[in-house]
Amino acid sequence: MAEKQEAKWYVIHTYSGYENKVASDLATMVESRGMQDLIQDINIPMETVSETKDGVTKEYERKIFPGYVLVKMIVTDDSWYVVRNIRGCTGFVGPGSKPVPLAEEEVAKFGVEKHSVEVGYKEGDTVKIISGPLEGYSGVVKSVDAEENSVCVILSMFGRETPVELELDQISLD
């Protein structure tokens, strides 16, 4: 194989309630066959839900897409065969069970992969907004939250200091 393929995220369909079993069986199969270079990650998108019942609030994890498991893999005959033959897996999502990778926007929207943004600014630095409705304004960084991909910048607007929440890549050092 001359060119190095890049792993992409694919969706596999499972019997309802079998998501965890399919994910653990697939992880075991990948480990035993030494296929970590082909099947790199397995994910079941979850969300935390709060429920209040009789004045008691409980938090629990809920599957965002019941019946589906996301797999980051390089599709070859071997990797396709391994995924396809896991008990509880009914196939890949795509026309005729042909795997179709998720678009970058979909991967970001599902929060499957965390992208870290390296920022060259810190609290107290003067920065310029480079995109969005406030493009061109300058302000001072109040706080940076890399995990939430947000930064709070204090802008001087109409003679008042106004805090504005922006994404990390919407500003640069002035």
What pLDDT, on the 0 to 100 scale, is given for residue 73? 93
What pLDDT, on the 0 to 100 scale, is given for residue 148? 73
Q: Are 64 and 110 in contact (CB under 8 A)?
A: yes
Sign of CA dihedral 56, 57, 61, 66: positive
Domains of the chain: 8-110 (3.30.70.940), 126-173 (2.30.30.30)
The residue count for the chain: 174
What pLDDT, on the 0 to 100 scale, is given for residue 105? 80
What pLDDT, on the 0 to 100 scale, is given for residue 55? 82
Low-confidence ranges of the chain (pLDDT < 50): 1-3
Distance, C-alpha 134 to centroid of its chain: 27
What pLDDT, on the 0 to 100 scale, is given for residue 142? 92
**How does DSSP assign 88-115, residue by residue?**
TEEEESSGGG---PPPHHHHHHHT-SPP
Cα 93 to Cα 97: distance, rounded to the nearest angstrom:
6
What pLDDT, on the 0 to 100 scale, is given for residue 169? 81
